[in-house]
Amino acid sequence: MFEDTKMPEGMNPEVLEHLMSPKNYGKLDNASGVGVALDEKTREYVIFYTLLDGDIIIDVKFATNGCQDTVVIGSMFTEMIMNNNIEYANKAIAKMNDKLGDMTPQQQVCADIVFSAFIASLKNFENLQNGLEEELHLFKMKESCETPIEGDSNE
């Protein structure tokens, strides 16, 4: 779609595509598992909805109140894992980190919050299968995506 567009330095067409037209964004009403990763400091979150048939991810959606990096990573990751098994999806986390390349510490936290929400959705599915009643599974992030302020003595 953006192959003929002059790219900003360091941006590839795939990233621009996901930025301009995110995939799999929204709520999945019939999810097998729902996971949330929350940055308690900034209150940024990602909600991950996973629909499984056995160990195959047949549908997946995500929602966030996060930045554009979080949206792009969520869009790219959901496209990568759709119609694949859970084992592949877990390996896709490392593949995504390789695909994204050098990221700032803030961008790495954006990626981690997406991946953590996915893992939380699998934990929710597992808990439900084991008879535990929970609406969703929540992971609180240890790292924050908040950008440190220059000269801040609280670093």
The pLDDT profile of the chain, 155 residues, written as one tens digit per residue, is 445 555 455 556 677 787 788 999 999 999 999 999 999 888 999 999 999 999 999 999 999 999 889 999 999 999 999 999 999 999 998 888 787 777 888 888 889 999 999 999 999 999 999 999 999 999 998 877 665 544 444 44
- Which tokens is 17 given? 């595509």
The predicted structure's pLDDT at residue 19: 75
Round to whole Å and give the CA distance between 34 and 64.
13
Write out the H or E segment, with its range, that includes residue 37. Answer: strand 33-38
> Angle at CA 75, nearest 5°, toward 56 and 38?
90
The number of distinct structural domains making up the chain is 1
The predicted structure's pLDDT at residue 25: 96
Domain coverage including residue 66: 15-132
- Which tokens is 130 given? 């084991």
The predicted structure's pLDDT at residue 142: 82
The domain that holds 45 is classified in CATH as 3.90.1010.10
pLDDT digits (tens, 9 = 90+) for 68-84: 899 999 999 999 999 99
The predicted structure's pLDDT at residue 103: 80
Evaluate whether residue 141 is within a structural domain. Answer: no
Round to whole Å and give the CA distance between 118 and 58.
14
The predicted structure's pLDDT at residue 154: 44
Evaluate whether residue 151 is within a structural domain. Answer: no
Determine the distance from the C-alpha atom of residue 128 to the mean position of all C-alpha atoms in its chain, rounded to a whole number.
22
Residue 93, phi then psi, degrees to nearest 5: -60, -50
Evaluate whether residue 138 is within a structural domain. Answer: no
The predicted structure's pLDDT at residue 149: 45
